[in-house]
């Protein structure tokens, strides 16, 4: 049975009705911060911020005790300290996060070969074949949680459901250090009371559009005619939200046989302080990466940016997409949000880069019931055809006109893969 603890956390206690809940979403709890606390047990239960106190560093992670004060990842450390002045600041150690991620993912794969990593600290698992070896989905989830805690000292939260979407929502509700099983028959009862932000892909603008027509909960969205939804948020998004609000998500767990990526970066001849110029180059790079993805018939699950400043300090940030994409506009929008979170504030940029990661094949990506990038995809594939016929500079975005070749950035370009 499930029990509501407090205002948000929801966990399953006792024997679970987990028949058919074969998809697990496992998310490490405050992963970077938790790894750092392994060396600082005296700080457990206290607000801790992972980042550099000096300069314009941003928060890499924070403990839940710090998050209660409003501290979030990618926030400037200076702001985080103002919100939570009693917090302890610890520097990040990214090589340790990578090593613990490998260990955790190995534990996942010991339970089932059907593991789809989403990022360094979360993954989907299909455990339908693990029943004979370990047990039912709830038993598998608890088994993994026990092993992770015993072998690494870290905790994770697990959601079990019939679909990826519901499993991911469930793991979020179980945080921190919990297990929540949503039986297929209880999917709608679980989803419908939740706020519309629980729907995958609903950001601030979409939320505003839904609130404008009086929709506040997932149940409200489910009860709204599809034509009304599409008028409010567009054809692709309307169909997606309609399906999710009814608990429908046909995507399967897709394993990656190798870690692949495609990227482009540019080093400016003269350091750039104008954020508009940096974003213009970010758009160009995103278009180049997307074109290479389409030529290879690949889609990216994750987009990452790389920024090197005048003092050679290099920062990378990444974000997992709600659906894989090879559309330049989508990659740019996600990359631009990552860049905005860095808050350049006039800091001189020496290098900027965009990278598509966790690549998957077309058949896997298009298994989804919707294509949120349909309109942009059609335009960009048309541009691909024209460029193939008339040359690479034949068709360009209006925002990029008036600049040509390396003069656009005044720098040196470097593709990578």
Same domain, 6 and 141: yes
Q: What's the distance, Cα to Cα, between the start and end of the chain in Å? A: 48
Average pLDDT over residues 245-266: 82
**Residue where one domain finishes, among candidates 133, 164, 184:** 184
Same domain, 308 and 197: no
User: Tell me: the pLDDT tens digits for 135-150?
Assistant: 999 999 999 999 999 9
Let me know if residue 250 belongs to a domain.
no
Let me know if residue 253 belongs to a domain.
no
Same domain, 47 and 119: yes
Structure tokens at 8: 């948000």
Average pLDDT over residues 346-352: 91
Same domain, 228 and 327: no
User: Tell me: the pLDDT tens digits for 67-119?
Assistant: 999 999 888 898 999 999 999 999 999 889 989 999 999 999 999 999 998 88
- Give residue 287's region: left, alpha or beta (phi > 0; psi -120 to 50): alpha
How confident is the model at residue 339, as a pLDDT? 93
**Residue where one domain finishes, among candidates 203, 218, 245:** 245
How confident is the model at residue 395, as a pLDDT? 46
Number of structural domains (the chain) is: 3
Domain limits at 363?
261-416
Maximum average pLDDT range among 4-13, 268-277, 376-385? 268-277
Same domain, 410 and 316: yes
Let me know if residue 252 belongs to a domain.
no
Closest CA to 286 of 301, 303, 269: 303
Same domain, 180 and 196: no
Let me know if residue 42 belongs to a domain.
yes
Same domain, 287 and 405: yes
CATH number of the domain encompassing residue 52: 3.30.70.270
CATH number of the domain encompassing residue 343: 3.30.1490.100
Same domain, 273 and 347: yes
Q: Which of 65, 122, 265, 380 is catalytic?
A: 122
pLDDT at 176 over 80: yes
Better-predicted residue by pLDDT, 57 or 103: 103
User: Tell me: the pLDDT tens digits for 322-341?
Assistant: 788 889 999 999 999 999 98
27 is in an annotated binding site: yes
Q: What share of the chain is helix, strand, coil (3-state, %, to 5)?
A: 40, 25, 35
The partner residues of 306 in beta bridges, in order of sequence, read 316, 353
Better-predicted residue by pLDDT, 192 or 294: 192
Same domain, 197 and 320: no
How confident is the model at residue 389, as a pLDDT? 54
How confident is the model at residue 297, as a pLDDT? 79
Let me know if residue 251 belongs to a domain.
no
pLDDT at 349 over 60: yes
The partner residues of 23 in beta bridges, in order of sequence, read 126, 161
Q: Give dist(CA 246, CA 241) in Å, integer.
A: 9
Whole-model pTM: value is: 0.66
Let me know if residue 148 belongs to a domain.
yes
Same domain, 285 and 397: yes
Annotation marks residue 122 as catalytic = yes
Same domain, 277 and 200: no
Residue 199 contacts residue 224 (beta carbons within 8 Å): no
Let me know if residue 199 belongs to a domain.
yes
pLDDT at 5 over 50: no
Strands 9-12 and 23-28: unpaired
Same domain, 224 and 334: no
> Mean pLDDT for the chain?
85
**Residue where one domain finishes, among candidates 184, 201, 235:** 184
pLDDT at 382 over 90: no
Closest CA to 219 of 246, 240, 201: 246
């Amino acid at each position: 049975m499930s029990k509501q603890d407090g205002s948000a956390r929801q966990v399953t206690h006792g024997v679970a009705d987990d028949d058919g809940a074969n998809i697990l979403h496992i998310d490490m709890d405050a992963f970077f911060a938790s790894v750092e606390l392994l060396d600082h047990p005296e700080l457990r239960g206290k607000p801790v911020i992972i980042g550099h106190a000096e300069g314009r560093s941003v928060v890499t992670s924070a403990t839940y005790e710090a998050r209660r004060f409003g501290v979030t990842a990618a926030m400037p450390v200076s702001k985080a300290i103002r919100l939570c002045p009693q917090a302890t600041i610890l520097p990040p150690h990214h090589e340790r996060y990578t090593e613990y991620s490998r260990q955790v993912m190995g534990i996942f794969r010991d339970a089932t070969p059907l593991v789809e990593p989403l990022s360094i600290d979360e993954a989907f698992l299909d455990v339908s074949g693990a029943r004979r070896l370990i047990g039912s989905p709830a038993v598998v989830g608890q088994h993994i949680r026990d092993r992770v805690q015993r072998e690494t000292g870290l905790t994770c939260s697990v959601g079990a459901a019939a679909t990826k979407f519901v499993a991911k929502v469930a793991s979020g509700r179980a945080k921190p250090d919990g297990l929540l099983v949503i039986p297929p028959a209880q999917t709608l009862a679980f989803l419908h009371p939740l706020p519309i932000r629980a729907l995958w892909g609903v950001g601030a603008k979409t939320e505003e559009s839904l609130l404008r027509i009086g929709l506040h909960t997932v149940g409200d969205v489910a009860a709204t005619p599809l034509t009304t939804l599409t008028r409010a948020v567009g054809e692709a998004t309307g169909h997606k939200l309609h399906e999710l609000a009814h608990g429908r998500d046909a995507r399967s767990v897709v394993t990656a046989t190798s870690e692949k990526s495609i990227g482009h970066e540019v080093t400016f001849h003269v350091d750039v302080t104008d954020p508009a110029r940096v974003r213009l180059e970010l758009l160009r790079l995103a278009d180049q990466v997307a074109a290479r993805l389409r030529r290879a018939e690949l889609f990216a699950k994750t987009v990452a940016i790389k920024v090197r400043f005048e003092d050679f300090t290099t920062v990378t940030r990444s974000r997992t997409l709600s659906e894989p994409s090879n559309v330049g506009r989508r990659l740019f929008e996600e990359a631009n949000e990552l860049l905005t979170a860095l808050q350049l504030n006039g800091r001189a940029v020496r290098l900027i880069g965009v990278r598509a990661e966790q690549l998957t094949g077309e058949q896997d990506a298009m298994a989804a019931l919707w294509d949120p990038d349909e309109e942009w995809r059609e335009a960009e594939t048309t541009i691909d055809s024209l460029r193939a016929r008339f040359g690479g500079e034949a068709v360009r975005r209006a925002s990029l006109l008036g600049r040509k070749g390396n003069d656009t950035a005044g720098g040196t370009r470097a593709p990578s893969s």
